[in-house]
Structure 1
Amino acid sequence: MKKRIYLSVPHMGGDEESFVRAAFASNWLSTVGPELDAFEGEFAARIGRPCVALSSGTAALHLGLRLLGVGPGDEVVSPTLTFVASVNPVVYLGARPVFVDADRESWNMDPQRLADVLAAKAASGRLPRAVMVVHLYGQTADMDAIVACCQRYGVPVIEDAAEAVGASYKGRPAGTLAPVSAFSFNGNKIITTTSGGMLAASDPAWVEKARFWSQQARDPGIAYHHTEMGYNYRLSNVLAGIGRGQLRVLDERVRRRREIAFLYRDAFADLSGIELMPQAPHGLHTNWLSAFLIDPARFGADRDQIIEALAGENIESRPVWKPMHLQPLYKDAECVGGEVAEDLFSRGICLPSSSNLQEDELARIIHVVRSVARPRP
């Protein structure tokens, strides 16, 4: 059996172990400590906003939606082309998602479809409580158009930047384009704390409120006194040490992910029917995952046949996210459009994208993909 090539794996930079040792030496092993404080401070300096480190990106979205006042009976607009973790926190709070189709330029939420939704909701006298924008695979959505549309109706925006650490929009970091945002440091992301996330906000008071909720909402004082609902959502001091080391190599990880995507693109340039996910002109796409769109008639095989061929060589690949409106979990949710997202899902494939991929591994992947293609006439 050939060595397994995974889709996206952790890649340590070298300093992580020293920060973890410092956490052990200090005996701060729980959800407080100097590594945690330092990680938050360094990440805040990186993006230019205060933040609080949490147990996951999903936790950050949950608290972010709560900060925006989302509650039972509300609606939250979300792209349909996303991972389910973007949407589930809406339901945690008793609200309902309303799904919007993707655009082809960025694969993110279509601003025109969003405008149509908000106009219709305004006409009915029931605007959504919030709009959630997801920066898919490390590429930012068209935030100027989306934010302008939401401001017209007074609807706040939350950014799901879970896949977009290190991405930017017109020179501004992803996660600083709306009042509140969430990042993920899951094991498969560009940088990782093994599991973990970060909530950032333009208002420092919101960050402190999220911090309070994330620690079981324990009121000040020696007694365990609680007046609000809280959660066990804080990141540990040990994992924050890993995050500090990872943050030091973020730029290099982004550079390598982009390099891998373009190596694939160039290696397939002479083939018909295979195209790299568009690189929208409005920002820096990190290409967290190298996503391609397949035209079966021109390529000579469909997406699933490529996945099968790669699996036969012990290489992991995945389809593009299955749209939320096609999920049994959300079959009754409202969706505006969906045709673009369905097409991207039916033809989209994510190839191995780890920043520590070796040249011989890349050659193996490229060889398998090319082997199932029809030669260009």
Structure 2
Amino acid sequence: MPDRIFLSPPHRTGRESHYLQEALDSNWIAPVGPFLRRFEEGIEAYTGAPHAVALQSGTAALHLALRLLDVGPGDEVICPTFNFAGCVFPILYQGATPVFVDSGVSTWNICVKELQRTLEDRAAQGRRPKALIVVHLYGQAAKICELVDVASQWNVPVIEDAAEAFGATYEGQALGTFGDLGVYSFNGNKIITTSGGGALVTSRADWAERARKLATQARDDAPHYLHSELGYNYRLSNVSAALGCAQLEAIDDRIARRRAIFTQYQQALADCPGVAFSPELPGTRGIRWLTCLLLDPAQTSATPEGLRQALAADQIEARPLWYPMHRQPVFAAYPYYTTRHISDDLFRRGLCLPSGSALSEADLTRIVTIVRREIKG
């Protein structure tokens, strides 16, 4: 059997073992320790965010962001339908209602015009959403400045879900730092990883302090265990943060490699009919977390599922694009706004190709050979 090629596996820097041993030798195995603050400071320095709180997952960070905005039962939160369910579940944790909005063609992220129409319609029904979640899918920027501007016209706070886009920029500014609150993920498949992990960033010191309290079981300042509100066990461990410190040292190299892999796919498949790739806005630098292609059925008989199966037969992992949230059984009852059904079309025509930064040239050749064979017949 050929070696397995995964979609986006972890990529070690070589420093992880050293930092992990340092954490173990110091006996800082409990959640809070020196590497935890060091990792947070690294995130702050790299992104320019004044305050970072390292947590167990990006989903935990989103949940705390909603808590900080006092989202609760009866409230509505707007989010994109073309998305991962982990972005939506925290809305339900708070007893609130997700309102889904379709994508735009130029970014695949939430559409500015659809957002404006959604806000107008909710207002006409006497509803003002409590928050807007903007997601930067696949490491590529949404039209974040325009989206923040529209939201501000309606006094709707913005949570930026940059879980897939750590290291990406818009006009030189880090994604995740445009909204009121920003979220990153350091899951095992992300561009850098702490195994499982995430972070919440904000410009407000009081929000960062409150997030830390909520993430450590909301323990009050007392010599005994005293709790006056609901809390969570969301803090990242010192050991996981040690991994993150090592990974963070290589972030620029990881971005450069993923962008190079994307370019190599583009060049290798340039003569294949009906093939297009995920867009990148002018003035932005995406991290190309995953290379995503689209197949045009008018130009090729190849299908995303056929291509996925052909790759799987050679032990190569590929994945469909996100199945829209309004199509998910768990979210089917919630409002959805669209005029062009872009997210449905993206799902039908799209596929994510292996994009890990440790992908070898031989691996790329193996993948491209199968893709070209399937598309060209």
Interval containing the TM-score (normalised by the shorter chain): over 0.9
Equivalent residue letter for 2:232? Y
- Whether 1:152 and 2:168 are equivalent positions in the alignment is no
Equivalent residue letter for 2:345? D
Q: 5+ unaligned residues in a row in structure 1: which ranges?
A: none
Partner of 2:358: 356
Partner of 1:128: 129
Instruction: Report how many aligned residue pairs link the two structures.
Output: 375
- Structure 1 contact 298–374 (Cα < 8 Å) conserved: no
Partner of 2:44: 44
CA distance in 2, matches of 1:299, 1:367: 17
- Whether 1:8 and 2:8 are equivalent positions in the alignment is yes
Shift, 1:89, TM fit: 0.4
Partner of 1:269: 270
Partner of 1:246: 247
Deviations 1:34-78 (A, max 9, x none): 111111111111112211100000000000011111101100000
Shift, 1:178, TM fit: 0.4
Partner of 1:192: 193
Partner of 1:258: 259
Q: 5+ unaligned residues in a row in structure 2: which ranges?
A: none
User: RMSD between aligned alpha carbons?
Assistant: 0.9
Equivalent residue letter for 1:83? F
Partner of 2:308: 307
Q: In terms of mean alpha carbon deviation, does 93-102 or 113-122 score higher?
A: 113-122
Shift, 1:282, TM fit: 3.6
CA distance in 1, matches of 2:123, 2:141: 26
CA distance in 2, matches of 1:300, 1:372: 9
Deviations 1:143-170 (A, max 9, x none): 1111111111101000111000000111
Deviations 1:223-273 (A, max 9, x none): 000001100000000010000010000011011011101100100001111
- Structure 1 contact 296–303 (Cα < 8 Å) conserved: no
Between the two proteins, what is the percent identity of the paired residues? 48
CA distance in 2, matches of 1:350, 1:282: 24
CA distance in 2, matches of 1:124, 1:95: 17
Deviations 1:309-330 (A, max 9, x none): 1011110000000000010111
SS at match of 1:299: coil
Q: TM-score normalised to the size of structure 1?
A: 0.98
Aligned pairs (5 A) from 1:26-41: 26-41=26-41
- Whether 1:227 and 2:228 are equivalent positions in the alignment is yes
Partner of 2:375: 373
SS at match of 2:246: helix
SS at match of 2:281: coil
| Deviating 4+ runs (over 6 angstroms) | none
Shift, 1:300, TM fit: 2.7
Q: TM-score normalised to the size of structure 2?
A: 0.98
Partner of 1:58: 59
CA distance in 2, matches of 1:372, 1:120: 45
CA distance in 2, matches of 1:13, 1:53: 20
CA distance in 1, matches of 2:131, 2:149: 14
Equivalent residue letter for 1:268? L
- Structure 1 contact 219–225 (Cα < 8 Å) conserved: yes
- Structure 1 contact 52–210 (Cα < 8 Å) conserved: yes
Partner of 2:294: 293
